[in-house]
């Protein structure tokens, strides 16, 4: 039997990145001595006030069909919190709810891209981007942000990559896996390219509320950019709601109308009780979100301090997010080889950062989504493994 060509387009190279992680999860469930630092799922439970809102809504019978775009009240809250004085006036018509930012990105790709279009994406990038964008028949053009340059935005490389087929630029700010957050000048560099070449910008900002130093800048807030920008966000990271699947897109109203038509034949709206929880999160739970942010900052510092100090194995200190990157090339291994050998020797599971793009080849991504004491134990095992393998390679 034959399958559609779509099945090839959604089979990106990053799809195999999780094999080691899944093996570690099964081992942990079996009671093995395993520490999982390979996934971005916070160990926090959802703040109780948010959960109670959903329970009350369920008990009140909030189990019926909802508006495809989402409840106007929640969409208006999102619009109001995103609004800035020097940008066009926003309202609920500029927001659509999705089952997470991943679902919103898929909708944006379907509504913006045609077969044969090219999309620039800053490499390294999240592993699902390739398949999500290429499902449309568009071509993803990975633009390397070099490790030697700290994985920071390279405007000249992007300029060189633009062709008459280029339709959009996809940015992740702050970035996953690197934790790099764009500066004002870097944001302006993206704006200049988008305006000069009449491009859409798709901005994934799911880590924008987990910033440790500096100020997060949304590209849609910049002059002349809202009308050409789709901003994706969710409650997953900043409110420990990964399993709730509540995300959104903020965009010009005309694009939201296209999202609505797509939603009629794709998702048909989020459950009402989840939207009730979302309202509580955004209106009443900022203090709980701040506890999550400060906890991740402390863990970032803990891991950075524990793994730094080896001149041959650099560690990149992230400005945001829940991951830290480590360069293991001096050990004579690539990221996959290091992650596999580390797991077999120590039971610590980290992720090959090369799965996020060629620019991160030879690096690994380490999440700090477990308790401090567990993190310290994991770091001790990693340091011991590195010391042993440095002696061997020497």
- pLDDT at residue number 21: 86
The domain containing residue 13 runs over which residues? Answer: 6-45+287-389
For position 343, which CATH number holds?
3.90.1150.10
Tens digits of residue pLDDT in 98-107: 999 999 999 9
Residue 1 lies in a domain: no
Identify the pLDDT of residue 394: 53
394 lies in some domain: no
- R_g (Cα) of the chain, nearest Å: 21
**In whole angstroms, what is the distance from residue 78 CA to residue 76 CA?**
5
Single pTM value for the model: 0.94
Asked if residue 172 and residue 68 are part of one domain, the reply reads yes
The CATH number given to whatever domain includes residue 175 is 3.40.640.10
Same domain for 39 and 55, yes or no, is no
Tell me what pLDDT residue 14 has.
53
The DSSP result for 342-382, as a single string, is: HHHHH-EE-EEGGGG-GGGTTEEEEE--S-HHHHHHHHHHH
Q: Starting from the edge strand earliest in sequence, which strands make up the sheet with 139-144, in order?
A: 95-98, 247-250, 229-234, 200-204, 166-172, 118-123, 139-144
pLDDT at site 138: 96
Q: Which secondary structure element, helix H or strand E, spans residue 327, and what is its range?
A: strand 323-327
Q: Are residues 22 and 70 in the same domain?
A: no
- Tell me: do 212 and 318 sit in the same domain: no
Domain-located, residue 74: yes
Interatomic CA distance for residues 226 and 217, integer angstroms: 13
Provide the 3-class DSSP secondary structure of residue 102: helix
**Same domain, residue pair 41 and 67:** no
User: Among 228, 256, 284, which residue terminates a domain?
Assistant: 284
Q: What is the mean pLDDT of each run of 10 residues along the chain (394 residues)?
A: 82 65 89 90 91 98 96 98 94 98 96 97 92 94 95 97 98 96 97 98 96 95 97 95 96 97 94 98 94 96 95 95 97 94 96 94 96 96 93 58
The residue whose two tokens read 């340059």 is: 149
Residues 114 and 125 in one domain: yes
Residue 270 domain-assigned? yes
Final residue of a structural domain among 242, 266, 284: 284
The predicted structure's pLDDT at residue 392: 58
Q: Are residues 244 and 204 in the same domain?
A: yes
Q: What is the DSSP letter of 320?
A: B
Same domain for 123 and 188? yes
* Residues 133 and 272 reside in one and the same domain: yes
Please report the pLDDT score of residue 356 as a whole number: 93
> What does the alpha-carbon distance between residue 17 and residue 23 come to, in Å, rounded to a whole number?
12
C-alpha 326/C-alpha 42 separation (Å) is 20
Looking at the structure, tell me whether residues 174 and 279 fall in a common domain: yes
DSSP sequence for 112-143? H--TT-EEEEEES--TTHHHHHHTTT-EEEEE
Residue 317 domain flag: yes
Q: By 3-state DSSP, what share of the chain in percent is helix, strand and coil, each rounded to 5? A: 45, 15, 40
- Residue 73 shares a structural domain with residue 12: no
Determine the pLDDT at residue 391. 63
Residue 199 lies in a domain: yes
Query: 54: buried, middle or exposed (CB in 10 Å: 19+, 13-18, 0-12)?
Result: buried
Give me 121's structure tokens.
């994406």
- Residues 32 and 65 both lie in one domain: no
């Amino acid at each position: 039997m034959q399958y559609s060509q779509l099945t090839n387009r959604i089979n990106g190279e990053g799809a195999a990145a999780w094999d080691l992680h899944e093996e570690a999860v099964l081992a942990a469930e079996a009671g093995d001595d395993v520490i999982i630092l390979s996934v971005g799922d916070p160990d926090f439970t959802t703040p109780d006030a948010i959960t109670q809102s959903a329970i009350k809504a369920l008990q009140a019978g909030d189990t019926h069909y909802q508006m495809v775009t989402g409840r106007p009240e929640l969409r208006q809250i999102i619009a109001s919190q995103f609004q800035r004085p020097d940008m066009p006036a926003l309202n609920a018509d500029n927001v659509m709810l999705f089952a997470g930012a991943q679902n919103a990105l898929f909708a944006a790709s379907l509504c913006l891209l045609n077969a044969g279009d090219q999309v620039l994406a800053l490499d390294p990038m999240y592993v699902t981007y390739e398949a999500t964008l290429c499902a449309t028949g568009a071509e993803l053009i990975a633009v390397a942000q070099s490790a030697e340059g700290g994985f920071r935005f390279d405007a000249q490389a992007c300029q060189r990559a633009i062709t008459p087929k280029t339709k959009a630029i996809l940015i992740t700010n702050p970035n996953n896996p690197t934790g790099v957050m764009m500066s004002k000048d870097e944001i302006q560099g993206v704006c200049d390219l988008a305006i000069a070449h009449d491009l859409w910008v798709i901005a994934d900002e799911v880590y924008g509320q987990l910033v440790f130093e500096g100020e997060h800048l949304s590209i849609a807030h910049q002059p002349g950019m809202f009308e050409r920008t789709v901003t994706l966000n969710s409650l997953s990271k900043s409110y420990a709601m990964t399993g709730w699947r509540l995300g959104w897109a903020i965009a010009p109203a005309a694009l939201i109308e296209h999202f609505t038509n797509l939603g009629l034949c794709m998702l048909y709206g989020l459950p009402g009780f989840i939207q009730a929880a979302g309202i509580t999160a955004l209106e009443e739970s900022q203090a709980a979100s701040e506890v999550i942010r400060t906890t991740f900052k402390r863990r970032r510092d803990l891991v950075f301090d524990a793994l730094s100090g080896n001149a041959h194995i650099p560690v990149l200190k992230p400005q945001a997010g829940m991951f830290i990157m480590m360069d293991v090339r001096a050990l004579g291994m690539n990221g996959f080889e290091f992650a596999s050998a580390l797991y077999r020797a120590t039971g610590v599971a980290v992720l090959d950062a090369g799965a996020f793009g060629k620019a991160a080849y030879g690096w690994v991504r380490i999440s700090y989504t477990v308790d401090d004491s567990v993190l310290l134990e994991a770091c001790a095992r990693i340091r011991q493994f590195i010391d042993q393998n440095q002696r061997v390679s020497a």
